[in-house]
Every structure is written in structure tokens, then in C-alpha cells.
Copies of this chain bind each other. A is one copy, B any other.
Amino acid sequence: MIVRNTRQRSAVSALLAEVEGFHSAQDLHAMLRNRGERIGLTTVYRTLQGLADAGEIDVMRPPGGEHLYRRCSEGHHHHLVCRACGRTVEVAGPAVETWADRVAAQHGFTDVSHTLEIFGTCPTCAP
């Protein structure tokens, strides 16, 4: 299976490179259509899945049900998400990374990855 360079794949990558924050597949698809790209929803899903498998983007599964994708640039980090307004703050936790790896190793697990999300109510949304 040789990966080929196509206009659509580039478009998705380019879009992810310039937008901030998380976006759903449908979001990204709509944006691409708005800027005149001719690309199918199916292709957006496939491309995002590919990028996620390759570790080039982050995937988040919020309680809402939609998958959110985001360019995962500088290393590994986690997210602090506001329950009310959806605002996200990046947080880094080196201690958590090593802890997770160590715990997994203790149980003999290999190829370890992890997801961590913190939910709360942000200052501006507090009643």
C-alpha cells in the first residue's frame, strides 16, 4: 500500500495546519467546501483516520459523541475542556506521561498510548 499525494489529502493537511483548536470531521468538510475545494465527506473521514493512525493529529471523543480532530504539533499534551462553552486549554504533564508508561510496563503491556481529558467549568462560565 503506497500512500499517494492527492489534492484532497493536501487540502485537509493544509486546513488543519492553519485552524486553531478541535474540529469535527463534518466541520472540516464544510470549511473545505466553503473555500471552494471539491472534496467528499467520505474522503475527509478517510484522510483524518489516516492522519490519526500516523500519529499526525489528535483525536478526542467528547461526551457529545462527535470525534474531534486537531493537528498535534508540539509533542504530547492533554486538554482541559470547559463543560459549558467548550473552550479548551492545553496542558502538559510530563509526570503523567511517565506514570502511564510505567504502570503499563508493570503489567507487561507494550505499544502504550493513553488519553487524558480534564473536564470542568471555566471561570467565565461559572454561574
Query: Are B99 and A80 closer than 8 Å at their CB atoms?
Result: no
Could you say how many copies of this chain the assembly holds? 2
* Binary B-proximity of A103-127 (CB < 8 A = 1, otherwise 0): 1100111111111111111110010
Complex CA distance for A80 and B104, rounded to whole angstroms: 7
For the complex, count residues of A whose C-beta is within 8 A of B: 32
Does residue A100 face the partner (Cβ distance < 8 Å to B)?
Answer: yes
Complex CA distance for A109 and B91, rounded to whole angstroms: 13
The B-contacting residues of A in range 66-121, CB under 8 angstroms, are 80, 82-83, 89, 91, 93, 95-96, 99-100, 103-104, 107-121
Does residue A61 face the partner (Cβ distance < 8 Å to B)?
Answer: yes
Query: Are A120 and B116 closer than 8 Å at their CB atoms?
Result: no
A118 interface neighbour in B93, B114, B123, Cβ under 8 Å: B114
Chain B residues near A123 (CB, 8 Å)? 107-109
Q: Given A95-B95, A96-B99, does the pair A112, B120 have CB atoms closer than 8 Å?
A: yes
Question: Could you list which residues of chain A lie within 8 angstroms of chain B, going by C-beta atoms?
Answer: 61, 63, 80, 82-83, 89, 91, 93, 95-96, 99-100, 103-104, 107-123, 126
